[in-house]
Amino acid sequence: MKILVCISCVPDTTTKINFTADQKEFDTQGVQYIINPNDEFGLTRAIRLQQSHGAHVTVVTVGEVSCEQILRKCLAIGADAAVRIDAHPNDGYFVAKQLEAICIKQPFDLIITGRESIDYNGGMVGGMLATLMQLPYVTQCVGLEINGDQALMQREIDGGNEHSKANLPVVIGAQKGLVEEKDLIIPNMRGIMQARQKPLLVEAPLTIEAKSQIEFYEKPKPRGPVTLFDPSDVDGLLNALQNQAKVL
Amino acid sequence: MAVVIFIETQNGKASKTGLELLSYGRSIAEATSASLIAVIFSDSDTQELTDHGADVIYTVDTATDSNFNLERYSATLSEICALEKATIVVVSSSSEGRYLGPSLAVKTGATYLSNAVALPTTYNPLTVKQSCFTNKGFAISESMSSCTVLSLSSNAFGIHPQPGRGEVKTYPYASTKSKLEVTKVEHAQESISIADADIVVSGGRGLKGPEHWHLIEDLASTLGAATACSKPVSDLGWRPHSEHVGQTGKPVASNLYIAIGISGAIQHLAGINASKVKVVINNDPEAPFFKAADYGIVGDAFEVVPRLIEKLKALKKA
């Protein structure tokens, strides 16, 4: 079985988000990059399938050379091979088309993306890729078992879970629950050493027009100070919620 | 020109987010002199959709297929979009809306812009403000296609009923053979989902253990609220991860968010930032949440919460 895990390099979850003075760009100064957490849940599931089913796991990202450290980390976690498509990820459609090209060149049985990236929160690459390739797609995926040539999946829906099955190949959008936080693999020294020997291919991008562009950014408006009440004064709090905020 | 809205249903009726989409779509239709087309996969009462702004309502009879079906829904909607020459399509930011949007955009050749938080600022080309970095920032984006699929952040626009023409048509459900077979749908018993709730009551590690969760549940049931939790609580297994709100959990955009015993890590605050009013109860006056909240009580949750429940019950009776 061949698995492709699509990785997005995103600012660490604790990053304070700032934009450049002209508001045109995200200010990357001092920002640490990580594997997008949703993608990491997917990668971990893929490594488990590598161990249980002998699957071959390839990771791919669309990004500049600075993303290679993230791909090396994926290799240290246990992926067998990495591909970097050498382009700035202009928008979700652009990224989906680049990934489609990789999947056409080299067929996969299972394609894993994250539910969404935690930077642009688009949540679109998996759905677009599946639709372009006419493959079944399950996002917010919190359960995945492989049984022969069939995938058994669970999708978290508002207030419940939907179970489904489909013949491989399938595309899933991973999130927490597919594996638990405690299952995430921290690379050990052996993994890090092995990662240096594993292939990291750089591919030229297809020429694709993006379908959207960001004109400028804004930060949320600063909020007023908190209004505090004494622990004995829950009446004061309830009164404020009823008559001032009007939410009760 | 047409604005097409996908109306989600709940027990066969239009959902609250569906009505919010209609209000949003009505404003776009007025601004662009377009017709507002509502598509609902149910044969429910269409009067409510007319009252909320629909000029044309397509009802699609899904017959025996009672589950949301990505392939068939997006195929049906893309046919209707082509028929009506849609320039703007709006879906919600719920599980269904965000599942559907990207697929529909590919099928119709449209641009997809997610998490819109306001009306478009221009229409030719279309520009709209989107939340990004999990509500830690906003991007003002331009669509470069003649048709754009927008997902509207929930509770970002509100419901403002304004009647439309209300012409009702039926449309056949696409016969696309689905490659995905839904085998079972499990619904949590009698709980209000975080996505739909006006009020969310959320607990953190300050509650000291799952055995104290009755405090959260009692307060939530008194308020008719959904229950949620912080990341450490779900990682410790005190609560299911479906309740985890924050950057890697569920986003919350309720009218009122009450955080009890949650210190307010930056990832948590990002996930709940779209809520309108935030209340924090925490015994640590240095907890970062106090900088992000509107109202707060520095005090012991085990004393404050029972008092709050008691007063709310008295208020309800009065």
Q: Per-residue DSSP letters for chain A?
A: -EEEEE--EEE-TTPPP-B-TTSSSB--TTPPEEE-HHHHHHHHHHHHHHHHH--EEEEEEEE-GGGHHHHHHHHHHT-SEEEEEES---SHHHHHHHHHHHHHHS--SEEEEES--TTT----HHHHHHHHHT--EEEEEEEEEEETTEEEEEEEETTEEEEEEEESSEEEEE-TTSS-GGGPPPP-HHHHHHHHHS-EEEEPPP----SEEEEEEEPPPPPPPPEEE-TT-HHHHHHIIIIIS---
Residues B167 and B289 in one domain: no
Question: In percent, how much of chain B has pLDDT > 90?
Answer: 87
- CATH assignment at residue B125: 3.40.50.620
- Which residues of chain A make contact with B145, given a CB cutoff of 8 A? 211
- The answer to whether residue B194 is domain-embedded is no
Is there a domain that residue B9 lies in? yes
- A221 interface with B at CB cutoff 8 Å: no
Please check whether residue B185 lies inside any domain of the structure.
Answer: no
Q: Are residues B36 and B129 in the same domain?
A: yes
Are B63 and B103 in the same domain? yes
Q: Which of B171, B191, B211 is the last residue of a domain?
A: B171
Q: At what angle do helices A125-133 and A92-105 cross, to 10 degrees?
A: 40
One domain for residues B125 and B229: no
Q: Is residue B163 part of a domain?
A: yes
Cβ neighbours of A157 in B, within 8 Å = 68, 95-96, 185
Which of B68, B135, B193 comes nearest A159 by C-beta?
B193
Please list the pLDDT of chain A residue by residue as tens digits (248 residues). 999 999 999 999 999 999 999 999 999 999 999 999 999 999 999 999 999 999 999 999 999 999 999 999 999 999 999 999 999 999 999 999 999 999 999 999 999 999 999 999 999 999 999 999 999 999 999 999 999 999 999 999 988 999 999 999 999 999 999 999 999 999 999 999 999 999 999 999 999 999 999 999 999 988 889 999 999 999 999 999 999 999 99
Q: Are residues B164 and B238 in the same domain?
A: no
Clarify whether residues B154 and B214 are in a common domain: no
Q: Are residues B44 and B135 in the same domain?
A: yes
Q: B140 and B78: one domain?
A: yes
CB nearest B181 (choices: A121, A127, A164):
A164
Q: Sketch out chain A's domains with CATH numbers.
A: 2-216 (3.40.50.620)
Whole-angstrom distance, CA of residue B276 vs CA of residue B256: 6
Mean pLDDT, range B124-144, rounded to an integer: 96
CATH code at position B253: 3.40.50.1220
B142 inside domain: yes
Is B178 inside any structural domain?
no
One domain for residues B230 and B292:
yes
Q: Are residues B44 and B121 in the same domain?
A: yes
Question: Considering its fold, how many domains does chain B have in total?
Answer: 2
pLDDT at B190: 60
Based on the fold, state whether residues B235 and B148 are members of the same structural domain.
no
pTM (predicted TM-score): 0.95
Query: CB under 8 Å to A186, separation ≥6 — which residues?
Result: none
Residues B137 and B235 in one domain: no
Percent of chain A with pLDDT over 70: 100
Element containing residue B316 per DSSP (H, E): helix B301-317
Domain, as residue range, for B269: 199-317
Name which of B141, B299, B300 is nearest A213 (Cβ-Cβ). Answer: B141
Which residues in B lie closer than 8 A to residue A126 (C-beta atoms)? 102
Q: Is residue B108, in this structure, part of any structural domain at all?
A: yes
Residue B182 belongs to some domain of the structure: no
